[in-house]
Structure 1
């Protein structure tokens, strides 16, 4: 069977890899000159089961309304975006009940753990170098109430496979000495020893090269225009460079899956939420963190990736705009500078890469993986802030479903777009 995968981000490339391993003829189509150059380029860098809880959680709709239009808000909804995302917003609010929040968290955790194992297997098989580090992740808190609440959530997920440890402020500094300057502000932390770090861009490009060696046709610099339907099912993909015949098409284009599938009358509840990261050379910052630190109160992550440091954070609902807003970037830098005062001496914005990408967020916070109502048209998108974390597992699940093989875990809920479970 010929399968055309649209989008060579981490999710699409992993899907192509597993489809080829299953014996299919695979074509991978990407509008950029290489894999992993859009949302997969500058993400937070952490592969973590520690952040599987979706944004659609109890109390979040009221918070978003309270933050409306505020530049320093953790999740900024711009007024101009409201008319375009009302339907999505209502579905998001419907997923903010305690019951749905818990179910969606559990689904993400299962996929995250499966994905981590799959990523490790791919790394062992291919030898891709992607600045992998396995020191775990430290999530710090400045109030006992916040730490207690986080522990309650983690306790529930620990029963389903999450590994974590609650640590004191002194232990925080033992794990990451760069926190010594702000030790007095800490209530403690949760330490997640199984979380990993890696450069998603390097991994995705390495995996695309491995796909090509296995016979996948990687077609870069080629823009998808539409999916051709014949006899009620997928027949081809039309691009700016011609027609690609297909038995099956997998749309793995992140936020851009929505407008493409809308051409076929398929309404996909995925909305882009812009995130910002700042990547700068470690340089002579000799005491820079070696353990990734996520700051719960300041809402940023500082992650060492190879010889670079990356600060990430911010969530901005502003349509498909990918230009990084400097006020948002400056706010993230200021927050990180509070926690790591030494960082201010080593971060030169002129030598940094300020980047923004679009997280493809579904109302439930779980990805859409499965066949749409049109035969042969599949979707693997909507991973939100967990694209890098869930990519390999999602690709594996999608390839199994397409091949008619029962996947290693239950697919995420279909949310009305795909059928859940295995048929």
Structure 2
């Protein structure tokens, strides 16, 4: 079968890899000159199935109000008239209850755990390296209230048989001695030994090169303008280089996916949530992470990537605006300076990207009911890197007609009906 994948980020490239492995002819189309240059370029670097948690949680509305009063808020909502944002926020709020939270977190954990296993198998099969480490993740708590909330998440982790441990401060420092000078800030930490880290951009570029060597065609510098459909199937893709035709089409364009689908009457509840990161050179091993930590107070992730440190986080609802905000940089620098400090912030590269978030936190993977040859693999939010390999393999199995290894019926767009 000839299959066109729209988008050459980590989701599109992993989808191409697994479809090619099943014998399909695959073409990947992207407007950028290389793979992985948008949302996959400089994310937090965490492969964190144990940290897979939906934003929509009990108490979020009150938290959000409190955050609005803080200078270094984890969440910023820019004032603007945006009906797509209003609809998305309405759906998000409908998921802010205990029942929906447990369902959504369970789905996310299922996909993320499977994806981590697929990544392990892929790394063993190919020998692929990407500044990767398999040393776990620690979620750092600075208040008793944060610890109390963690007990509920720990129950869900136990229900999903995911290894975890609540650490005291001394135990945290055994895993991450670079936090020693921040001892007074810490109360406890949730250790997730199965989590990993690595550079998603390097991974995407190297896997794309391997896929190309196996026969996958990559069409770069090609802008996707729209889709032509008739009756119940997509007929072609309109691009800056003409029409492209195939037997099946996969939309993996992250935050831009709903814009492409809307003219077809397909309403995908994905909205861009802007995130930021700093990438700085390592200057002092004794004040740097060995693996990866999450600062629960500022919702900031700090990850070791070879001789670099990646500091990523914050969330901003501002549409498709990619302007670099100085105040967001201050929050990242504050978290890093308080916890570690073993990197040169003056030499940091500052970056922003748009995370494709669904209101329930779960990605959208599967067929579009109205069209027999249209498939989706998008909406992974902050967990695109975490869920990439599993999502790509799930999609490939479904298109190929093979039963996926995990339940997938509740991952498709049909759950929003």
- The TM-score with structure 1 as length reference comes to 0.94
- Bigger drift between 157-166 and 46-55 goes to 157-166
User: 2:166·2:189 contact (CA, 8 Å) conserved in 1?
Assistant: yes
Determine the C-alpha separation between the residues in 1 that align with 2:183 and 2:125: 41
RMSD after superposition: 1.7
Q: What per-residue deviation string (whole Å, max 9, x for no partner) do you get for residues 354-392 of structure 1? A: 000111000110001111122211111000111100011
| 1:12-51 correspondence to structure 2 within 5 Å | 12-51=12-51
Structure 1 residue runs without a partner (length 5+)? none
- Bigger drift between 68-77 and 115-124 goes to 68-77
Matched residue, 1:395? 392
Q: Cα–Cα, structure 1 residues 419 and 53, in superposed 2: closer, same or farther, change >3 Å? A: closer
Matched residue, 1:377? 374
Q: Cα–Cα, structure 1 residues 326 and 202, in superposed 2: closer, same or farther, change >3 Å? A: same
Determine the C-alpha separation between the residues in 1 that align with 2:157 and 2:120: 22
Q: Cα–Cα, structure 1 residues 283 and 181, in superposed 2: closer, same or farther, change >3 Å? A: closer
Q: What per-residue deviation string (whole Å, max 9, x for no partner) do you get for residues 2-41 of structure 1? A: 1100001111111111111111111011111111110001
Determine the C-alpha separation between the residues in 2 that align with 1:367 and 1:412: 12
User: 2:138·2:189 contact (CA, 8 Å) conserved in 1?
Assistant: yes
User: 1:151·1:190 contact (CA, 8 Å) conserved in 2?
Assistant: no
Determine the C-alpha separation between the residues in 2 that align with 1:66 and 1:293: 24
- Bigger drift between 132-141 and 147-156 goes to 147-156
Determine the C-alpha separation between the residues in 2 that align with 1:2 and 1:53: 36
| 1:216-235 correspondence to structure 2 within 5 Å | 216-235=216-235
How far the C-alpha of 1:231 sits from its partner, in A, is: 4.2
**1:80 is paired with a residue of what secondary structure?**
coil
User: 1:67·1:77 contact (CA, 8 Å) conserved in 2?
Assistant: no
| 1:347-362 correspondence to structure 2 within 5 Å | 347-349=344-346, 351-362=347-358
**1:263 is paired with a residue of what secondary structure?**
helix
Matched residue, 1:11? 11
Structure 2 residue runs without a partner (length 5+)? none
**1:418 is paired with a residue of what secondary structure?**
helix
Matched residue, 1:52? 52
| 1:300-319 correspondence to structure 2 within 5 Å | 300-319=300-319
Determine the C-alpha separation between the residues in 2 that align with 1:213 and 1:52: 33
How far the C-alpha of 1:190 sits from its partner, in A, is: 1.0
Determine the C-alpha separation between the residues in 2 that align with 1:199 and 1:251: 23
Q: Cα–Cα, structure 1 residues 255 and 71, in superposed 2: closer, same or farther, change >3 Å? A: farther
Determine the C-alpha separation between the residues in 2 that align with 1:258 and 1:108: 21
Matched residue, 1:418? 414
- Bigger drift between 352-361 and 135-144 goes to 135-144
Q: Cα–Cα, structure 1 residues 414 and 290, in superposed 2: closer, same or farther, change >3 Å? A: closer
**2:289 is paired with a residue of what secondary structure?**
coil
Q: What per-residue deviation string (whole Å, max 9, x for no partner) do you get for residues 376-414 of structure 1? A: 111110001111000110111111111111111112635
How far the C-alpha of 1:62 sits from its partner, in A, is: 3.3
How far the C-alpha of 1:232 sits from its partner, in A, is: 2.5
| 1:173-322 correspondence to structure 2 within 5 Å | 173-322=173-322
Residue 364, structure 1, aligned to residue 360, structure 2: yes
**2:102 is paired with a residue of what secondary structure?**
helix
Determine the C-alpha separation between the residues in 2 that align with 1:148 and 1:72: 23
- The TM-score with structure 2 as length reference comes to 0.95
Matched residue, 2:155? 155
Matched residue, 2:404? 407
Q: What per-residue deviation string (whole Å, max 9, x for no partner) do you get for residues 208-232 of structure 1? A: 1111111111111111111122343
